[in-house]
Structure 1
Amino acid sequence: MTAKTVEALLEDLRLLGDAQHRIATAVRALVRQRFEPFAEEVKYGGILFASGVPFCGVFAYKEHVSVEFGHGAAIEDALGHLEGSGKFRRHIKLRTVAEIESKQLAHYLPLALEAAKRAA
């Protein structure tokens, strides 16, 4: 059995809805644009991103898309957009493409990478 490709997963997201597909695609484009080196893989039902170390992932649900930060609890959240109260993880829920900007996802991505590198 071969691993599911990122493109195949994105096509499957259309079954959840066009909004989830557009949001996940936009998040992926933002991460690809900002990080070098860049790697991605399909795992746990979403797309995990790495730049030297894995640092975040995007997962689609019926009502939203979640950008998950495995070491998000180590991020200082001065902007107040991180959700979750677990020991390590935090996430940002996105319901529209516009929320990528309004919830300032681009601000959190390098912080997530720094937190992941410190934990490695």
Structure 2
Amino acid sequence: MTASRIQAFLDDLRDRHADHFAIVSRLREIVLQFGPAVSEEIKYGGILFSSRAAFCGVFPYAGHVTLELSGGASLPDRHGVLQGQGTLRRHIKLFAVTDIEDRHVAEYVELARQSADA
């Protein structure tokens, strides 16, 4: 059932906002490359990713897509791209697929996954 909900979410996003669909699809590829222990589910209006614990989520908004990092406040921010002031989470706003590489998203996703698995 989860796979069909994810596919329905992606199909709807593709139909409504092709640019956001491209960003979300690329983010999914990056997160899921970390192996079969990573699971995904539709939650809070986006896709939440977990391994031992939830570590990130991808959420489309009207003007951008946000990558939320569950324990982002404790992650090193070598590239100065993390935003937010909460006690736990940080996020990265993405406006185009090129932002994913420019903002070193894969590095932050890996740090978040390692932190959640510790």
Does the alignment reach a TM-score above 0.5? yes
Instruction: Give 1:9's aligned residue.
Output: 9
Deviates more, 1:62-71 or 1:34-43: 34-43
Give 1:43-62 correspondences, 5 Å limit: 43-62=43-62
4+ aligned runs moved over 2 Å, structure 1? 114-118
Distance 1:19 1:34 in 2: 24
Distance 1:117 1:38 in 2: 11
Residues 32-75 of structure 1: CA deviation (Å, up to 9, x unaligned): 11334121000011001112221000000111000001110010
Q: How many residues align structurally? A: 117
Q: Which runs of 5 or more residues in structure 2 are unaligned?
A: none
Give 1:1-120 correspondences, 5 Å limit: 5-118=5-118
Aligned-partner SS, 1:34: coil
Root-mean-square deviation (CA), in Å?
A: 1.6
Per residue, is there more helix in 1 or in 2? 2
Identity %: 42
Q: Which runs of 5 or more residues in structure 1 are unaligned?
A: none
